[in-house]
Amino acid sequence: LLIIGEGPGAEEDEQGLPFVGKAGKLLDRMLAEAGLAERAFITNTVFWRPPGNRTPSPAEQAACAPFVERAFFLLKPKAVLLLGAAAAKSVLSTDEGIMRLRGHWKDWRLAEGNVSAPVLATFHPAFLLRTPMAKKAAWADMLSVAARLAPSAD
């Protein structure tokens, strides 16, 4: 499972690791409860904290896109989980909002290398901390990812 967020917050920027703050701890709990903790690689659409902790600009995301795509190519994940609107819009090359995108499986295919994977956008854990009522929908998305990754009974 490849998980892609938008960009580092203050704690992530300080430690040089993705999702280590409060939102990261919530994500860790969700992944553990869904049985995905040991199967996930986490990255962001940008690798530095944008000034004022603003949403990364399309230009910033475009500058980092080759690195995100390279991680996708090397990992060849069975599924991709996009956390939040910025990550979803960047990876899926869309202007649709997260409310429309979340919960719907899409396909991400690289132009080169014949690599593709099913992609699901969901709410960012930081949004869940501010909007607890959205946790139920995000949990349903996490369970959908877990089901997609479950070994099939042949």
Other CB atoms within a 10 A radius of the CB of residue 84 amount to 24
Structure confidence by residue, pLDDT tens digits, 54-108: 889 999 999 999 999 999 999 999 999 999 999 999 999 999 999 999 999 999 9
pTM of the predicted structure, to 2 decimals: 0.93
pLDDT of residue 96: 95
Mean pLDDT value of segment 41-51: 91
Q: Which residue type, as a one-letter code, is found at position 102? A: R
pLDDT of residue 154 exceeding 60? no
Q: Which two tokens stand for residue 93?
A: 């090359």
Q: Which two tokens stand for residue 18?
A: 């993705």
pLDDT of residue 7: 87
117/108 Cα distance (integer angstroms): 6
pLDDT of residue 152: 67
Q: Which residue type, as a one-letter code, is found at position 122? A: T
Structure confidence by residue, pLDDT tens digits, 114-130: 899 999 999 999 999 99
The share of the chain scoring above pLDDT 90, in percent, equals 79
Task: Region of 114 please: left (phi>0), alpha (psi -120 to 50) or beta.
Answer: left
pLDDT of residue 111: 83
110/61 Cα distance (integer angstroms): 16
Q: Which two tokens stand for residue 48?
A: 């530095």
Closest Cα to residue 118, out of 71, 79, 72, 74?
A: 79
- Is the CB of residue 81 less than 8 Å from the CB of residue 61? no
Assign 33 a pLDDT band (cuts: 50, 70, 90).
very high
3-state secondary structure (DSSP) of residue 14:
helix
Q: Which two tokens stand for residue 38?
A: 């040991």
pLDDT of residue 10: 79
Other CB atoms within a 10 A radius of the CB of residue 125 amount to 23
Assign 52 a pLDDT band (cuts: 50, 70, 90).
confident
Q: Tell me which of 33-47, 92-106, 139-153 is least confident.
A: 139-153
Closest Cα to residue 148, out of 112, 111, 122, 129?
A: 122
**pLDDT, the chain, mean:** 92
